[in-house]
Amino acid sequence: MTARPAQEFGDNPVEVRETGHYTEEYVPSFVEKWDSLIDWEKRTESEGNFFIDLLRKRGIRSVLDVATGTGFHSVRLLEAGFETVSADGSADMLAMAFENGMKNGDHILRVVQADWRWLNRDVHGEYDAIVCLGNSFTHLFSERDRRKALAEFYAMLKHDGILILDQRNYDAMLDRGYSSKHTYYYCGDDVKVEPEHVDEGLCRMRYDFHDGSSYYLNMFPLRKDYTRRLMSDVGFQKIDTYGDFQHTYRDEQPDFFVHVAEKE
């Protein structure tokens, strides 16, 4: 029997601040657990039709899900009738997404393994919308990579396309300490999610599962206005930011922000 790869953070985990490290963080055993972390039914309930309505209102037909993960949004998009392509840099995530597509409504996902920094090289076509959801953009550790990824997203959108990108409310964590109610994304009852280390350059989260296993993700704590500024710098003309799926928010309240960036 071959040993299953474990997460590898070396002797000093808080020093691991690299964009490319995500593929080593989403090891198969963590990927398998991801769906109990983001219980699909509860997530559907809490999110409602927020993204679907937003896309429909704009007459969107084709969507590129660039952070497919285990396929939650790709499956919802297909069910709602959008032409959907599902990309992710992790082959393990895509394999799970494909399986989940079959299990949830016999959907055959069109999956493409692609890192955002070279998205145009591996994914073809132009899309009405790109979605990058589930606090994924936070995996990019250098500003150069963030700009590169956003520029790649921009280039793959039609002239009037939109990018929908969400993020954890890191401002609240950095300024006031962690207080997530865990209502939105991490809905599984089976897991406790806590930050182990937070500074301006790193948020290291620990995920403790009932079976005694723990996994970690090292992420860059994006400040909301910084993300908005980057989007505007690469050319997006209008950026609306929602808090926890609502248009009005007070900065300290939401767990998550959703940015909707318009190209035209």
Q: Which residues bind ligand SAM (CB under 6 A)?
A: 19, 22, 26, 38, 67, 69-70, 72-73, 88-90, 93, 115-117, 133-136, 139
The distance of closest approach from Cβ of residue 264 to ligand SAM in the complex, given in angstroms and rounded to an integer, is: 26
Place of tokens 């767990």: 255
Angle at 234 between CA 109 and CA 174, to 5 degrees: 85
**What is the rounded CA–CA span in Å between residue 257 and residue 184?**
11
Q: Which is nearer to ligand SAM, 181 or 250 (CB)?
A: 181
Q: Is 54 or 160 the residue whose CB approaches ligand SAM more closely?
A: 54
User: 101 or 134: whose CB is closer to ligand SAM?
Assistant: 134
Q: What is the 3-state secondary structure (H, E, C) of the chain?
A: CCCCCCCCCCCCHHHCCCHHHHHHHCCHHHHHHHHHHCCHHHHHHHHCCHHHHHHHHCCCCEEEECCCCCCHHHHHHHHCCCEEEEEECCHHHHHHHHHHHHHCCCCCCEEEECCHHHHHHHCCCCEEEEEECCCCHHHCCCHHHHHHHHHHHHHCEEEEEEEEEEEECHHHHHHHCCCCCCCCCCCCCCEEEEEEEEECCEEEEEEEECCCCEEEEEECCCCHHHHHHHHHHCCCCEEEEEECCECCCCCCCCCEEEEEEECC
Q: CB-wise, 88 or 255, nearer to ligand SAM?
A: 88
Cβ distance to ligand SAM smaller for residue 90 or 180: 90
What is the nearest approach in angstroms of ligand SAM to the Cβ of residue 72? 5
Least distance from ligand SAM to the Cβ atom of residue 117, Å: 6
Which amino acid belongs to residue 128? D
The minimum distance between CB 178 and ligand SAM, in angstroms, equals 17
Compare residues 76 and 224 and give the one whose CB is closer to ligand SAM: 76
Q: Which is nearer to ligand SAM, 117 or 228 (CB)?
A: 117
Q: How far is the CB of 86 from ligand SAM (least distance, A)?
A: 10
When CB distances to ligand SAM are compared, the closest residue is: 134
